[in-house]
Amino acid sequence: MKNFFFGFCLFLTSTVATGQGFEIIRNHKTPLFQVFDPSNVEDAWLSKVQADHEMPLPSGMKESLRRAVDAERSRFNQRNMHRRGNYTGNPTPPASIAPTDNKGWDGTAGSGTPNDNHIAVSNGGAVISVLNTIIRVYDEQGAFKKQWGLIQFVNVQKKIDAFPALDRVYDPRVLYDPVADRFIILFMHGVVDTKSFIVVAFSQSGDPLQPWNVYKIPGKPTQDLIWSDYPIVSQNSHDMFFTVNLIGNGASWEEGFTEAIIWQLNKADGFKGDSLRKDFYSNIKHEGKSLRSICAIQNGPMPEGNDNYFISVKPIDKVNDSVFLLHINNTQQSGQAELSMKVLVSPMKYGFPPSALQPDTSYKLRTNDARVLSAVRIGNQIQYLQNTMNFKTMQAHLTHNTIFHIDDKPVIEAGMITDDSLDMGYPAIAAAGKNTDDPSTVITFVYSSPWHYPGTAVIYRNRLGEYSQKVKLVQGGTLINYSGLPKGEQRWGDYEGIQAKYNEPGVFYTVGSYGKNNSMNAWISRITLSDPLLNAPVSDVRIFPVPANESLFIEVKVGKPAVYKAQMVNMLGQTVKSQLNLPLSEGIHKLKIDAGQLAAGTYFLQLTADNVVVRSQKIIIQ
């Protein structure tokens, strides 16, 4: 393949600085590179797997902190480790709302370490699984259709060459646009500035075996001697977004980090094969320091809207609570898109996660850092997940936080997905409700423990914040043990994938890793939700939990917009709490009461409109 260079002069176009110091280059254009037709290449049924080489190279971790965290955990575990014979802890709520694993199939091993799994499914049932360094296409029941190397998208010879060196193609992502009925694939190429570019391919139809429009985007967009790493993707009605970290040549991702940037691409151009118009956002800093690992947030339950949110934290700190919420407010085509940022504080601290344990505890699995790995926007809230240290148990667990009122005065409600036996990592989240009034979500993640080989699981959270039990989708059969890596530095994954089948409510496809033949293997699952509330009428008022001792949530279905009065009345008929001005529009609303401000006892919540009590609900506070 010919070498591909982008000079810095490519970006000498109009640069706009915002009030917060961010820089925006608007309407940059990339011409169509080529049209790739999968029918012109043979099935890559045999590939050279060099999984003992990490991707991308050069690799690196915050070694001193990781070793200190792991040593601290080891000392803690000697005193506090509890062996468990079953898979999960006590489920909350009962198993009745656990997702159902309809069908799963082996998605093969990647040609690099880690797998970097991602997945998309079309309304017509075409399933794409991407991983280092290949793409595989199935039908919705798992019947295999075709596999080829990702390098073929930019291979102008249009023939199967030897699989590329593992520092050339990595970090694939895939999206499906249910309105246009098209797929988008993105992956990285090269780990030095002279070879670094990003491949973005847009399918010309809903059939991934038909031609694709392929573009090359520069991997050194701000200066020479840097390259792009670790993309995270999202989309709305008009645009595709992806974020990357810019890394200096010859350095680790930590020591060589320069800045994190955002690209905004016009999807219509890519679907038509026109010159691809893009906006580019850089100089994204807080208090003079560049944000790391910005996560592009999905829009759910459908990829709609004209704007998009992003989130970042301080991922390599041992302990922190800072959260950075970013917002691009308009489409690329408008020419008026602006980037803004709000700085938030999480009520629960996150921190650099320990390595995960395996049945042979000398083989530890890296959890990388505490960056936000996956997030979804549902209406006026955002749910996001990180790998993190559970400071109570010293295990690798997952934050699951919600940011409310994102368009006004955002506040964070913090939580964590835990288990007394399992380490967990690399979560991916998808919206599960039918509309933006329902914040239900489905989350997939990988797990391991001293009594469980690495596997993949899924968990469901309904709109009241109740979690299902964890459901294992595939349980590993061996350690992950790459001979080319030290025992204590085995690679587990960088990310996993989940997507709703948009035209079948309650159906999701996931992809994750598990231990097989001493390496990571991909596993694809089709799951359905079992929550009876998804297809049942919503009650006028539902309160959870009952009894309550800290916070309780009230779900109210409003048929008529009005300004309501809310009162908490004790058994003697005395009003102990009231709110006189509670405007509620038509639809479903979730309200929160701080139960800690109330003495233990039995109360009645009354909602009043025009001096008429429209609803009274019994509440028990413990």
Structure confidence at residue 6 (pLDDT): 31
Structure confidence at residue 591 (pLDDT): 74
Q: Rounded to whole angstroms, how far apart are CA atoms 260 and 296?
A: 12
Q: Rounded to whole angstroms, how far apart are CA atoms 88 and 523?
A: 20
Residue 170 token pair: 């990595």
The whole model's pTM is what? 0.84
CATH number of 538-621: 2.60.40.1930
Q: Rounded to whole angstroms, how far apart are CA atoms 369 and 315?
A: 6
Residues near 554 by Cβ (< 8 Å), separated by ≥ 6? 541, 542, 543, 590, 591, 592, 593, 605, 617
Q: Rounded to whole angstroms, how far apart are CA atoms 35 and 468?
A: 45
Q: How far apart are the first and last CA of the chain?
A: 69
- Residue that is written with structure tokens 């917009």 in the block: 561
CB atoms near residue 108 (< 10 Å): 20
Walking along the chain (622 residues) 10 residues at a time, the average pLDDT comes out as: 31 56 94 94 61 51 78 71 35 66 85 86 97 92 93 71 61 97 96 92 98 96 90 98 94 84 98 98 96 97 97 97 98 97 97 96 94 97 97 96 93 94 97 90 97 97 86 96 90 94 96 93 95 58 61 72 82 78 77 72 78 72 70
- In the chain, DSSP finds a helix count (H) and a strand count (E) of 2, 42
Q: Where are the domains of the chain?
A: 8-36+50-57+64-533, 538-621
CB atoms near residue 521 (< 10 Å): 23
Structure confidence at residue 2 (pLDDT): 29
- DSSP three-state, residue 234: strand
CATH number of 8-36+50-57+64-533: 2.120.10.10
CA 93 to chain CA centroid, Å, is 24
